[in-house]
Chain A
Amino acid sequence: MNAGESPLPLDGIVVVELTDNIAGPWCGRQFAALGAEVWKLEHPDGGDISRSLGPFIDDDHVESSVPWLYLNEGKKSAAVAIDTAAGLALARQLLARTDVLIVSLTASNAAAAALDRESLTRDYPDLVVTSLTPYGMTGPKRDYRGCELTEYAASGLMHLTGEPGREPLQVGIPMAEFAAGQAAAATTIAGLIRRDAIATGQYADIAITEVGAALLDFQLAFFVGRGYLAERLGNLNDKGYPWGIFPCRDGWAAILAGPADRWPQAAKIAGIPELAEARFATAQSRQDHRDELEAYLLPWLLEHDRQELFELGQSAGLAWGYVRDAAEVADCVQLKADGFFDSIEHPRLGPVPSADLPYTLAGVEPRRRPPPLLGQHTGALLEDVLGLGSAAIVELEESRVVKRRDDAGW
Chain B
Amino acid sequence: MVKTTTIPTSEARTTAPLPLAGVRVVDLTRAWAGPSCTAFLGELGADVIKVEAPEGESLRGGLRSAARGETPRPFNASATFNIINRNKRGMAVDLSAPEGREVMLRLVAESDCVVENFRPGVIERLGLGFESLREVNPRIVLASNGGYGHAGPYAGYRGYGVAIEPMSGLFSVTGYEGDRPQRSGVDHPDPQAGLSMATALLIAIFVARRTGRGRHVKTSLLRAMAACFAPRVIEHLALGTAPTRHGNESDRLFPHGVYRCAGEDQWVALAVVDDGQWDALCEIVGRPDLARDERMRTAEGRRAQRNLVDEAITAWTAIRPKREAEAALQQRGVTAAAVQSVADLLADEQLESRQFFRTIDHADWGAHAHIGSRVQLDGKRPPVRPAPMFAEHTDEILGGLLDLPPEEIDRLDERHIVPREPWRAER
Contacts and interface: CB of A to CB of B under 8 A. Distances in A.
Interface string B11-28: 001001111111100000
Nearest to A323: B166
Interface string A187-223: 1011111111111111111110111011111111111
A215 B191 contact: yes
Interface in B138-182: 147-149, 151-155, 157-160, 162-164, 166-176, 180-182
A334 B17 contact: no
Nearest to B32: A217
Nearest to A71: B231
Given A217-B84, A232-B185, A359 B235 contact: no
A229 interface: yes
Contacts of A223: 342-343, 346
B161 to A, nearest CB: 9
A198 B196 contact: no
A315 to B, nearest CB: 9
A203 B197 CA distance: 22
A205 B1 CA distance: 23
Contacts of A353: 233-234, 237-238
Interface stretch (B100-108, B222-230, B297-305, B394-402): B222-230
A139 to B, nearest CB: 4
A179 interface: yes
Nearest to B46: A190
Contacts of A169: 174-176, 182, 247-248
Interface string A148-161: 01111111111111
Contact of B345 (A137, A168, A206, A216): A216
B51 interface: no
A178 interface: yes
Given A140-B350, A326-B169, A358-B224, A219 B342 contact: yes
Given A14-B1, A121-B9, A169-B247, A361 B215 contact: yes
B7 A214 contact: no
A359 B223 contact: yes
A264 interface: no
A319 B160 contact: yes
A183 B330 contact: no
Interface residues of B, number: 158
Contacts of A172: 170, 172-175, 232, 243, 245-246
B93 interface: no
A254 interface: yes
Contact of B223 (A97, A232, A235, A340): A340
A151 B234 contact: no
B425 interface: no
Nearest to A120: B10
B72 interface: no
A362 B142 CA distance: 10
Candidate in B149, B162, B210 with the most chain A CB atoms within 10 angstroms: B162
B258 interface: yes
B371 A225 contact: no
Given A55-B239, A182-B196, A190 B184 contact: no
A90 interface: no
Given A326-B243, A329-B229, A330-B233, A154 B337 contact: yes
A353 B155 CA distance: 25
Contacts of B1: 12, 14, 97, 99
A306 to B, nearest CB: 9
B318 to A, nearest CB: 13
Nearest to B219: A359
A200 B174 contact: no
Interface of chain B: mostly helix, strand, loop or mixed: mixed
B229 A173 contact: yes
Given A117-B379, A323-B171, A352-B234, A193 B19 contact: yes
A217 B36 contact: yes
Contacts, number: 512
B171 A245 contact: yes
A263 interface: no
Contact of A234 (B167, B182, B233, B339): B182
B374 interface: yes
A334 B345 CA distance: 39
Contacts of B172: 172, 323-326
A163 interface: yes
A1 interface: no
A296 interface: no
A179 B191 contact: yes
A216 B342 contact: yes
A160 B231 contact: no
A259 interface: yes
B236 interface: yes
Contacts of A239: 162, 187
A184 B258 CA distance: 28
A185 B350 contact: no
A355 interface: yes
A203 B258 contact: no
Candidate in A34, A66, A328 with the most chain B CB atoms within 10 angstroms: A66
B132 interface: no
Interface string A41-82: 000000000000111010000000011011100000000000
B16 A198 contact: yes
B291 interface: no
B281 interface: no
Given A190-B20, A354-B234, A360 B6 contact: no
A209 B326 CA distance: 15
B406 interface: no
Contacts of B232: 172-173, 326, 329
B376 to A, nearest CB: 4
Nearest to A10: B203
Interface in A347-365: 352-364
Interface stretch (B121-129, B267-275, B282-290, B413-421): B267-275
Candidate in B176, B199, B229, B238 with the most chain A CB atoms within 10 angstroms: B199
B215 A362 contact: yes
Interface in A124-156: 125-126, 135-141, 144-147, 149-156
Contacts of A370: none
B3 interface: yes
Interface in A83-126: 96-97, 99, 117-118, 121-122, 125-126
A99 B301 CA distance: 46
B307 interface: no
A183 B376 CA distance: 12
B163 A321 contact: yes
B231 to A, nearest CB: 5
A207 B354 contact: yes
A311 to B, nearest CB: 9
Interface string A218-243: 11111111100111111101010001
Contacts of A99: 1
Contacts of A205: 375-377, 379
Given A198-B16, A326-B235, A335-B226, 10 more contacts: A55-B251, A199-B3, A202-B378, A225-B80, A256-B162, A319-B147, A338-B149, A358-B193, A358-B219, A359-B197
11 contacts: A66-B238, A122-B8, A172-B245, A173-B232, A199-B7, A201-B13, A205-B375, A216-B345, A259-B158, A330-B237, A332-B226
